[in-house]
């Protein structure tokens, strides 16, 4: 990748690979652990590290929300906080609507602090993003690998199952499930979050499974896999050493989309009136969600821009962080980039 580089590389990680001294090493494919190498590689990717730092930061925000938020996100006192107060730097003829740093991003329709709700919203967004992702990968990757690699009857059975689940139109399935089970004991677990996780996971694992299967099918035919097989490597080793690492790229890209997808799904369900259920409990650990905030704010983009911009920006940033981390992981785990 030296002289024929199509695009001039800017990233430090790319430049490292093209350093002549090190590329000699890379030709040797040293037996050092895949993962420790990957971590070394990953650490050198500045954007990926920024993503990781941001996600850690968000996790801290989520944990320490009560300390960070200036107000209780549930408490509403319109007489004092003012309804639809503007952001701190905006003035308004009405003193109750003029911005103040007490309420940095203003207040919402019932006088709750937008900034505090944003801070607490981190919690729902992180769990809504991560938990279904974990479940989706835990089901989708093994199913896809098994179907693609083993083929034959296993493939047929797994793919028929996937086809059936896949055939449910996603959004419509969410709606029916929410309406049907939303008022059951199960539907009200953790403000309805559990039901949301389950539906998101049930629908989305098939996408990952199909993706992984497709990749596996094509990788299985590749020269290096055939070579490994000829060299007597068993199935597990081929999967772990050759197929999985090569299939990781698309999986990671897809994963980086599942998280914002889940957060958006929550917003869309709020739009349809069937999202996470609210609670007047002042100590509720999950009092607000970015999706719900976008739903409340999207029509007010003119008069109360921060009710929309705040949560939309928050979702965009977390998406970006995931994309960076995903890209970094993909590069780091690429077997051909091992140093």
Partner 1 sequence: MVEFLLRRVLYVIPVIVTVTAVTFFLMYRAPGGPWSSDKPLPASTERALNAKFGLDKPLWINPGAVTAERDAGENNPFVLGRALFDSQFFNYLFGVARLDFGPSYASKGAESVQSEIAERFPISLKIGLVGIVFALLVGVPLGIISALRQNTWIDHLSLFISTLGISVPTFVTGLLLVILMSRGFGISPVRRPDAWDGFGSAYLLPGIVLGLGTMAYMARLTRSSMLEIKRQDYVRTARAKGLANGIVVNRHMLRNALIPIITIVGPAAADLVTGSIIIETIFNAPGLGREFVESIGKRDYSMIMGTAIFYAVLIAFANVLVDLSYGFVDPRIRVRR
Partner 2 sequence: MSISARWARLAALLVAFALVIPTLAVGVAAQDDANVLRIHQLTYPDDFDPQKSSFTSEIVVMLPAYEGLTKFTNQGETIPAAAERWEYNEDATEVTFFLREGLTYSDGSPLTADNFRYAVERTCSPRVLGEYNSILFEIEGCAEFAGLAGDDPAAPAEFTDEQYNEAAAALGVEVVDDRTLTLRLTNPAPYYHTVAALWVFFPVKQEIVDAAPDNWWQSAENHIGNGPFNFTGIEEQQLISYEASETYWEGRPQLDGLEYQYIPESAVAIEAFRSGELDIVDIENSALIPQVQGDPELSPNFLSYPTAWSSGLGYNLTLEPFTDQKVREAFSYAFDRETYCTTIRNGDCTPLTSWIPQGIPGSIETDAFAFDPEAAVQALAESSYGGPEALPEISFFYNSNDSANTARAEWIAGQYRDILGVELVLEPTEGTTWTDLRKSLETYPQMGLNIGWIQDYPDPQNWLSVYWKCDASFAQRFGYCNEEFDELVTQGDTTLDPEERLTFYEQAGEILVADQPMTFVHAINANYLVNPAVTGYEAGASDVEWPGEFGSLMTITKE
Give the footprint of partner 2 on this chain (CB under 8 A): 6, 74-76, 78-79, 83-84, 108-111, 178-179, 182-183, 270-271, 273-274, 277-282, 292, 295-296, 299-300, 302-304
Contact 14, 48 (CB under 8 A): no
In the complex, what is the shortest distance from the CB of residue 87 to partner 2, in angstroms, rounded to a whole number?
15
Give the helix ranges, DSSP H, for 19-63.
Answer: 20-28, 34-43, 46-63
Using DSSP, state whether 88 is helix, strand or coil: coil
CA distance 242 to 27: 17
In the complex, what is the shortest distance from the CB of residue 309 to partner 1, in angstroms, rounded to a whole number?
10
CA distance 207 to 221: 22
Q: Which uninterrupted H or E stretch holds 292?
A: helix 290-297
Contact 294, 267 (CB under 8 A): yes
The residue to which tokens 């990680």 are assigned: 13
Residue 81 or 136 having the CB closest to partner 2: 81
Q: What is the 3 state secondary structure string of 229-244?
A: HHCCCCHHHHHHHHHH
Residue 255 or 304 having the CB closest to partner 2: 304
Residue 80 or 163 having the CB closest to partner 1: 163
Token readout for 202 is 């049930």
In the complex, what is the shortest distance from the CB of residue 280 to partner 2, in angstroms, rounded to a whole number?
4
Select from partner 2, partner 1, none the partner in contact with residue 239, using the beta carbon and a kind-dependent cut-off of 5 to 8 Å. Answer: none
Select from partner 2, partner 1, none the partner in contact with residue 300, using the beta carbon and a kind-dependent cut-off of 5 to 8 Å. Answer: partner 2
Select from partner 1, partner 2, none the partner in contact with residue 86, using the beta carbon and a kind-dependent cut-off of 5 to 8 Å. Answer: none
In the complex, what is the shortest distance from the CB of residue 278 to partner 1, in angstroms, rounded to a whole number?
19
Residue 86 or 178 having the CB closest to partner 1: 178
Q: Which uninterrupted H or E stretch holds 329?
A: helix 305-333
Select from partner 2, partner 1, none the partner in contact with residue 250, using the beta carbon and a kind-dependent cut-off of 5 to 8 Å. Answer: partner 1
Select from partner 2, partner 1, none the partner in contact with residue 281, using the beta carbon and a kind-dependent cut-off of 5 to 8 Å. Answer: partner 2
In the complex, what is the shortest distance from the CB of residue 190 to partner 2, in angstroms, rounded to a whole number?
14
Contact 315, 125 (CB under 8 A): yes
Residue 88 or 320 having the CB closest to partner 1: 320
The backbone torsions φ and ψ at residue 183, rounded to the nearest 5 degrees and listed phi first, read: -95, 5
Residue 124 or 308 having the CB closest to partner 1: 308
Select from partner 1, partner 2, none the partner in contact with residue 282, using the beta carbon and a kind-dependent cut-off of 5 to 8 Å. Answer: partner 2
The residue to which tokens 């690429």 are assigned: 334
Token readout for 90 is 């905006």
């Amino acid at each position: 990748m030296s002289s024929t580089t199509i695009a001039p590389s800017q990233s430090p990680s790319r430049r490292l690979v093209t350093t002549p001294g090190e590329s000699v090493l890379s030709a040797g494919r040293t037996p050092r652990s895949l993962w420790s190498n990957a971590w070394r590689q990953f650490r050198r990717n500045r954007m990926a590290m920024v993503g990781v730092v941001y996600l850690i930061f968000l996790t801290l925000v989520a944990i320490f929300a009560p300390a960070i938020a200036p107000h209780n996100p549930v408490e509403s006192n319109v007489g004092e906080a003012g309804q639809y107060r503007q952001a701190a730097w905006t003035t308004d003829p009405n003193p109750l609507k003029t911005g103040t740093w007490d309420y940095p991003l203003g207040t919402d329709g019932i006088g709750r602090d937008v900034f505090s709700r944003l801070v607490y919203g981190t919690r729902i967004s992180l769990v809504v993003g991560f938990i279904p992702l974990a479940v989706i990968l835990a089901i989708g990757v093994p199913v896809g690998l098994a179907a693609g690699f083993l083929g034959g009857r296993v493939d047929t059975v797994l793919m028929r199952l996937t086809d059936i689940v896949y055939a449910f139109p996603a959004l419509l399935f969410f709606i029916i499930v929410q309406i049907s089970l939303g008022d059951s004991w199960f539907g009200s677990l953790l403000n309805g979050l559990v039901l949301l996780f389950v539906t998101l996971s049930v629908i989305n694992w098939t996408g990952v499974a199909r993706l992984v299967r497709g990749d596996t099918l094509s990788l299985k035919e590749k020269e290096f896999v055939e070579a490994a097989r000829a060299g007597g490597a068993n199935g597990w080793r081929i999967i772990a050493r050759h197929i999985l690492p090569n299939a990781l790229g698309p999986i990671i890209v897809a994963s980086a989309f599942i998280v914002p997808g889940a957060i958006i799904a929550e917003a869309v369900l709020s739009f349809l009136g069937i999202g996470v259920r609210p609670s007047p409990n002042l100590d509720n650990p999950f009092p607000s969600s970015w999706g719900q905030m976008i739903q409340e704010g999207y029509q007010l983009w003119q008069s109360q821009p921060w009710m929309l911009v705040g949560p939309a920006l928050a979702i965009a940033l977390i998406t970006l962080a995931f994309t960076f981390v995903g890209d970094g992981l993909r590069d780091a785990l690429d077997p051909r980039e091992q140093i």
